[in-house]
Structure 1
């Protein structure tokens, strides 16, 4: 199959190749991207990844270890369901090929179904949750025969379209909350809950179920990611130049950074970031954002011809 009809962004440097495929419009509210990562034999990468939304991943490597938050690195299963995170994920990979599929909060609700809070800051082997068997089968096929980008994208599209079914009753509210979380002007949980039409306690339960975290945590995460995203787009700038407008001062940002990444901004800047560099490059080219958790599903859900 030719890949000319795919909307693909590519990064290729130092034995690391990352290709990001944009989902078709009907799946864009639920899936942020499909990404193919390839590491040449013997090439080792280590990185400290910022918070992100949930995703599905599958692949094989000489070494593939990770940990969310603090603790020792542990082997990553061949087919993985990873929940949303609000803290650093450290990874170390040597050689290998992988597929990943980013899930929006609406995608988690539609295709996974369990409360997102149960998988917050966790990853597990597929089969340990109630996720549909067809997702596991799709990941197995991608792992065995995922070299053809167009064929893989077709498989992913076909699998998720078969699972769409009827729109969940909560989806309109979910999308409204997602828009609120992403909005630059959103700073008040009380104002957001009032705008959505939910009382404070119901709003908090709703966010934990569909987004994995309380609304205050979601707003803090977006503020942090907007700042880190600006810096990663241009690492030559000083941190002060990348700060989100809602930080009181640089000390406020440093406290958030340490709580999220287990290190200071200067310590982070001194480390190599091959995976983040590749991800920021292809995400920005493809969707106009620097990181997965900044992806706005409605921005790309417009009529186009998809696979």
Structure 2
């Protein structure tokens, strides 16, 4: 299923065979006049692979204190705990979002090495530049990604089932304590911290905090007048508690973030939610 055709943003669901490994596929197509620059923002989240198609302008992204300029034409974006502030001269960007299960099954290794980093995608798979050629030739992004990912999945090994359990726990808004997560996985808190860094990129405390913040932020941006009730529902004591997390994950207040993000951010939230579901 695709939605957003005819608009700058499109999303596609992954097939049933891949839905437990990837969050879906996306395309951002932005036409700008010569010399114009679009500034926008990406939310903190899981990892992704993205291709800037031929004719696209160079783009850059800032994650915390790290700036990548230019982003490689074929790039791998590791899991992030910072908002990504993007600048581009326009063009078309297509990509696939990887869930932690997808990283473990399709690639494997210590994902924390890529946390809050952007690297050339060929470091993951030497075939990826050829994948970019197919996308540039006009092939359907969802079909291209599906073929490549299914081939990798067919050659993969079973993943640790605790990764799926942990992902489900982190996705549950009612789970807010590390002790409960450790008990559910029958792990010590120390072992849990090592496990989450290896497969999810960050400590369980930061992952729980990021999830809570993104649930609240999505609500605040969608319903600005929701007020304290929305923050309390997300698990915050008061607005100052929420604002501390704003500075941690966004590097600024919500008000400043709304000035920094461009028109695509809210549009992407709406289209993604309609096709795939809300990310948090």
- Normalising by structure 1, report the TM-score: 0.83
- 1:24 to 2:15 alignment: yes
After TM superposition, list the pairs within 5 Å mapping 1:161-172 onto structure 2.
161-165=150-154, 168-172=157-161
The structure 2 residue matched to 1:145, chosen from 113, 137, 140, is 137
After TM superposition, list the pairs within 5 Å mapping 1:2-41 onto structure 2.
7-10=1-4, 17-41=8-32
Greater displacement, 60-69 / 163-172: 163-172
What do the CA deviations read for 1:28-58 (whole angstroms, capped 9, x no partner)?
Answer: 0011011111111426321132201100000
The structure 1 residue matched to 2:230, chosen from 215, 225, 242, is 242
After TM superposition, list the pairs within 5 Å mapping 1:92-241 onto structure 2.
92-127=87-122, 129=123, 131-142=124-135, 144-146=136-138, 148=139, 151-165=140-154, 168-234=157-223, 236-241=224-229
The DSSP-based 3-state class of the residue aligned with 2:127 is: helix
How far apart are 1:140 and its partner, in Å?
Answer: 3.7
How far apart are 1:219 and its partner, in Å?
Answer: 0.1
- 1:283 to 2:277 alignment: no
Aligned to 1:55: 48
Note the residue ranges of structure 1 that are not aligned, 5 or more in a row: 1-6, 295-307
- Structure 1 CA distance, aligned partners of 2:244 and 2:147? 44
- Structure 2 CA distance, aligned partners of 1:199 and 1:34? 36
- Structure 1 CA distance, aligned partners of 2:229 and 2:237? 13
Greater displacement, 131-140 / 92-101: 131-140
- Structure 2 CA distance, aligned partners of 1:241 and 1:221? 19
- Structure 2 CA distance, aligned partners of 1:229 and 1:261? 13
Aligned CA distance change for structure 1 residues 139 and 241 (closer, same or farther; 3 Å): farther
What do the CA deviations read for 1:160-211 (whole angstroms, capped 9, x no partner)?
Answer: 1111136645431100000001111111111111111222222111101110
- 1:258 to 2:247 alignment: yes
Aligned residues: 275
- Structure 1 CA distance, aligned partners of 2:258 and 2:90? 25
The DSSP-based 3-state class of the residue aligned with 1:81 is: strand
CA contact (8 A) 1:134 1:159 kept: no
- Structure 2 CA distance, aligned partners of 1:264 and 1:40? 30
- Normalising by structure 2, report the TM-score: 0.91
Aligned CA distance change for structure 1 residues 51 and 239 (closer, same or farther; 3 Å): farther
- Structure 2 CA distance, aligned partners of 1:88 and 1:105? 19
Note the residue ranges of structure 2 that are not aligned, 5 or more in a row: none
- Structure 2 CA distance, aligned partners of 1:54 and 1:187? 23
Aligned to 1:69: 64
The DSSP-based 3-state class of the residue aligned with 1:164 is: helix
How far apart are 1:69 and its partner, in Å?
Answer: 1.1
Higher relative contact order (CA 8 A, sep 6+): 1
Aligned CA distance change for structure 1 residues 279 and 171 (closer, same or farther; 3 Å): farther
The DSSP-based 3-state class of the residue aligned with 1:32 is: strand
- Structure 1 CA distance, aligned partners of 2:46 and 2:217? 16
